Structure formats: C-alpha cells, structure tokens
Chain A
Amino acid sequence: MALLEINNITISYGKREIVKDFSLTLDEGQICSLVGESGSGKTTVIRSVFGLLPKGGKITKGDVIFEGESILGFSKDKWRNLHGTDISMIFQDSGAMMNPTKKVGKAFVEYIRTHENLSKKDAWDKGIEMLERMRLPAADNIMKSYPFQLSGGMRQRVGIAMGMTYQPKLLLADEPTSALDVTTQAQIVRQMMELREDYGTSIIIVTHNLGVAAYMADYLVVMKNGVVEDRGDRHYILHHSQNEYTNKLLDAVPSLGGEEHEC
C-alpha cells in the first residue's frame, strides 16, 4: 500500500480553481518533487495534503488517501495529532515560522509538550537531543536564542530537527533551500537525503529549483498554472522529456551533473 495517494484533486478558492486534476502516489521512503515557478500551485498541493490551506481554500474534487484513510474526513483534533508527528512540514524560512518574541527552546518545548506528556525539563532535553542528532553545534545555545539571532542555514536545520522529532512518515518541504546561499543549500539538501536513509522518511519537496529537485527526488512533477505539465522519474525528466516547459526549466539550471547547459 502506498503511503500517500493523491487522486485527481482540484483545489479552489471560492470559484477560482488554483490546482486542477492533480494526482500523485508516494511510497514509503520515496522522495518526490513538485517543480514549477511561483503561482504554479505546487505549494497549494502540499498545503492541501497537510490540511492547512489558507482561509477560503478547499479541495473541491478528488481525494487524498494517507495510510489508507481519506484525509478529507479528518477532524480538527485528528489533524492536530498528525501535524508534527506523522506528517511534518518544513518551510522556506523555518525561523519565521517560530514566534519571534520567544526563544527557540520555548517553541520546541511547546511543540513537544503538545504531543507528549513530558515535564518542561524533559521536553527541553529532548529538544537538545534532536538538535544534536541533526549535528547542530552548541545545541544549548541555540535553544536559548531567539529565532532571529540564528543564521538562515541554522534556522533551517533547527526547523528540520523539529520536524523530525517524531520521525514522521511523511515530510513536506516547501522551498526549504530557496532562502539560502549555495553552500548552505547543499548542506540542507544532504541532510534531508540522510533522513530517508536513517528513518525511511518519505519526502515531498516543493521547489522552483530543478537542480535541487533532480538531485534529491526519485520522481518529479512539473507544474505550471495549476496543472501538471510533465512528470516522470529523474532519468526521464533530465534526459528524455520532450516537454517544452521542462526543457526551458532545465536550461535555466546552470550546471547539472557535469552536463553544461547553454543559456
């Protein structure tokens, strides 16, 4: 049984259809990537899978099956229990996703104590342990810092550490490397790849960077204006796709696996 099945969904805001007839099947341990420019609807897709569409957004057609159950019928409480445990999400800037007036540790403790009946002290220790497991130096210092005091890459790694606390079956990553410089990008990408090796996590990564997508994903979906433009495994997308849009995106990637693409 597949971990996640997205069957032909249409997502609308009021009468406007943002995403049309989108399907995707994700197996355990698989990494899949949604690629497209901003406004292509890629973020909307994972937000709907996560049950966190902005106000007014709704899945108006089709179904999403997670571990054999339709998520459309999930109650608020059921969602809350899934969020951050079985399904986690990492954002473009994980630092901005934390309350700026609270220290990282406080947010971490708040999160852990939501899902587990731990004392503040134990939750704190668990947070430290997670940060250390993600090989973050000076975990104690990080816990005692405000989000804005950390560098972009550091914030992202803290975000990943938080997201991995309960070893989710599904990790949704929304442009996780877009705000970072190239070196840090590579670091984060590698770290996410290791998650699959270490924990068998399935990942959907949303990105406009086809280079990152091709490096990480087994399977790619190219989106444009809310519809699927092209799809296939990495080899197909990189080497055999006849799709004009896919090739245009490929041309925009400066260097990929040794091949030189002229602009």
Chain B
Amino acid sequence: MSKKKIISRLIQIVVVLFGISFLTFLLTYMSPGDPARTMLVATGVMPTQETLDTLHEQMGLNKPFVEQYITWLTNCLHGDFGTSYSLGKPVSELLLARLWPTIKLTLLSTAMMMILAVPLGTLSAVYKDSPIDYIIRNITFLGVSLPNFWVGLLLMLVFCVQLGAFPVICSDCDFKSMVLPAATLAIAMAAKYARQVRTAVLEELNQDYVIGAKARGVKGWKILWFNVFPNSLFPLITMFGLSLGSLLGGTSVVEVIFSYPGLGNLAVSAITSCDYNLIQGYVLWIALIYMVINLLVDISYNFLDPRMRVKR
C-alpha cells in the first residue's frame, strides 16, 4: 500500500468519525430523554423544575444544536468525552476500564474460532464434494443461522447451571469466566469462517503451482500446509479485519448474557439509562478502533504478501 493510499485512508477515517459523531449527536438531540433528569435521578436528587433549569443552563442544553455539537466535538478532540450522567465518572475513564476485558474476550474467541474454522474449512476444501465436505457445509450452514444469544443461554444452561463447571457471573474476569462467552462468539463466527476458509483454500488448490509442486514430487501434505494453506491466509486476514466490527458489536449481546464487564455491557446499560455522553463516546471509540484495525490489517496484508510488497 502506497503512502498516498494510507493517507487517503486516514482522511477517510477522520471523515467517517466526523459523520458518525454528527449522526449520534443529532439522534441524542432529537431523542425524548432528558440528560439532566437522568443525572439528577442518578445522584438521588428529586428533580424539580428549578433544579432542572439550572442544570440545563450548566450543561449547555438550552443552547442551539450547532453550538452544542461544536462544544462537544471540541472537547472530544481534546480527549474529553464528557462525564457519564448515570455513573458520574469521565466517559474516557469508564471506557478505558472496560476496553481491556473486551479485547481479551475478542482475542480468546478469535483463537477458538480459528481452532474450529481452519481445520473444518480446510478439510471441506481438500475433500470437496465428498461426504465430509457435505457434512461440514451443512453444519456451517446451520451454524450461521444460530442466534448467538441463544447459544450463549444454552451453553450457560448446560455448563453453568446443570454441570456447574463454570461460574454463571463473571466476577473477576479470570480465564475460566471468559471461556463460555468466548465460545459463544466463536461458534457463530466459526460457521461463517469455515465457509470462507473453504473458499480460500479451494481457490489456492486450483492454482498452477500446486500442479508444479506435484510434478516435482513434493508430498501432498507439504504442498497443503506449507504452500496452499499459508497463501489462503492472505484473503482471510482481510476478512478477519472486516468481521472484527461484527465481533465488537456482537460482544455486547454475549457480555450481557454472561454479565461480563466489557465495553458492550457498559454500552447496553448506558443506552438503557439514557446516558448519552457515554453512548456517544462508546460509538466513537468503537468506530475508531474498528477503522484503525482495518487499516492496520490492510497495511499488514501488503507487508506480508510479497506480490504486493516486492517491486516487479
């Protein structure tokens, strides 16, 4: 990827962030909830018209929309996303505290997903149109139709409630309490990825160099694992970057089910309690993380694949 392209991508990120911020701010502006009331209730004060009015004044809520937006945006640019109405703490601080658990969860589920999807997809590609392929394809088809919140509940029912093997509520976020939420995310993703791995491996298996290697007498498993397989990872890296988005969004459902103290859980409670500052902060953060990851993935793709990296 050329420098020019990277710069234009960076500009695109800024534009998208700008647009997203405007959209969420507009939505909160139009929404029926009153942040001042939320804030007062959260601090245990009985809201009266008088206190509400003063608070509106303080928070700048009676200023025109554009002015409110610009003030908020300027603060955001300085790293100040405001204070959470319901929790009374700075938004950045709250988000930062929840970021790491979500990243841990994302990484663990990705690892689990790969352990499932890569062998299944490869097997299905290598034995294309055989009974194995047929079975795997049908399983993955059922897998993509599974609601992940249902899978989460069933896993919880079986492993936590019936077998008591895992804690129902994640208290201190150790490995054990991450296993089930990660597995829930992994199952849904694995079904999707197994199909993509299959397509990617099939594509590579049809390349001429496979015949070339066979013609040189190279062993089949060596062709598969040292040539076909690494090459089929290139397109998968890009797909992985793109699906990180659905993963970031998908964690909220799973985090709620398992009471996991991550970003998604925080976002859901922020939305339930009309904590607009927190919601806006969350959306912007996720957008930023998502796009930066995608950019890094694209850059790394160019770095990893010699066909992109080396000049002809």
A148 pairs with B307, CB closer than 8 A: yes
**Chain A residue contacts of B215, Cβ below 8 A:** 50, 52, 83-84, 88-89, 91, 97
B307 pairs with A91, CB closer than 8 A: no
- A52–B227 Cα distance when bound, in Å, is 19
**Chain A residue contacts of B209, Cβ below 8 A:** 96-100
Tell me if A10 counts as interface (CB < 8 A to partner B): no
- Expressed in whole angstroms, the minimum distance between the Cβ of B182 and any Cβ of chain A is 31
A80 pairs with B217, CB closer than 8 A: yes
Number of interface residues of A (CB under 8 A): 29
Tell me if A85 counts as interface (CB < 8 A to partner B): yes
Give the nearest-CB partner of A146 in chain B. B306
B212 pairs with A80, CB closer than 8 A: no
Given contacts A84-B217, A114-B218, contact A91 B208 (CB under 8 A): yes
Tell me if B312 counts as interface (CB < 8 A to partner A): yes
Tell me if A149 counts as interface (CB < 8 A to partner B): yes
Give the nearest-CB partner of B215 in chain A. A89
A115 pairs with B227, CB closer than 8 A: no
- Expressed in whole angstroms, the minimum distance between the Cβ of A100 and any Cβ of chain B is 6
Contact with A along B107-143 (1 / 0, CB 8 A): 0000000000000000000000000000000000000
Tell me if A102 counts as interface (CB < 8 A to partner B): yes
| Majority DSSP secondary structure for residues of B touching A | helix
**Chain B residue contacts of A111, Cβ below 8 A:** 213, 216-218
**Chain B residue contacts of A102, Cβ below 8 A:** 227
**Chain B residue contacts of A88, Cβ below 8 A:** 215
B305 pairs with A101, CB closer than 8 A: yes
Tell me if B176 counts as interface (CB < 8 A to partner A): no
B307 pairs with A99, CB closer than 8 A: no
Most chain-B CB neighbours within 10 Å: which of A52, A110, A146? A110
**Chain A residue contacts of B234, Cβ below 8 A:** 101
> Which residues of chain B (282-312) have a CB below 8 Å from chain A?
305-307, 310, 312
Indicate which residue in B208, B217, B305 contacts A115 across the interface (CB closer than 8 Å).
Answer: B217
Give the nearest-CB partner of B204 in chain A. A99
Give the nearest-CB partner of A81 in chain B. B217
B230 pairs with A82, CB closer than 8 A: no
Given contacts A97-B208, A101-B306, A149-B312, contact A84 B216 (CB under 8 A): yes
Given contacts A91-B212, A96-B209, A97-B212, contact A85 B306 (CB under 8 A): no
B216 pairs with A101, CB closer than 8 A: no
Tell me if B78 counts as interface (CB < 8 A to partner A): no
- A81–B214 Cα distance when bound, in Å, is 11
Contact with A along B206-226 (1 / 0, CB 8 A): 001101111111110010001
**Chain B residue contacts of A83, Cβ below 8 A:** 214-217
Given contacts A99-B227, A101-B305, A101-B306, contact A114 B219 (CB under 8 A): yes
Tell me if A49 counts as interface (CB < 8 A to partner B): no
**Chain B residue contacts of A50, Cβ below 8 A:** 215
**Chain A residue contacts of B219, Cβ below 8 A:** 80, 114
- Expressed in whole angstroms, the minimum distance between the Cβ of A145 and any Cβ of chain B is 9
**Chain A residue contacts of B213, Cβ below 8 A:** 97, 99, 107, 110-111
**Chain A residue contacts of B231, Cβ below 8 A:** 99-101
- A93–B310 Cα distance when bound, in Å, is 20
Given contacts A101-B230, A146-B306, A149-B310, contact A82 B217 (CB under 8 A): yes
**Chain B residue contacts of A45, Cβ below 8 A:** none
Indicate which residue in A146, A148, A162 contacts B216 across the interface (CB closer than 8 Å).
Answer: A162
Knowing that A100-B307, A114-B219 are A-B contacts, what are 6 other residue pairs whose CB atoms are under 8 Å apart, sorted by A's residue number? A52-B214, A83-B214, A83-B215, A94-B212, A101-B234, A148-B312
> Interface of B with A (CB < 8 Å)?
208-209, 211-219, 222, 226-227, 230-231, 234, 305-307, 310, 312
> Interface of A with B (CB < 8 Å)?
50, 52, 80-85, 88-89, 91, 93-94, 96-102, 107, 110-111, 114-115, 146, 148-149, 162
Nearest 10 CB-CB pairings of A with B: A97-B212, A83-B217, A84-B217, A84-B216, A111-B216, A96-B208, A89-B215, A99-B227, A99-B209, A80-B217
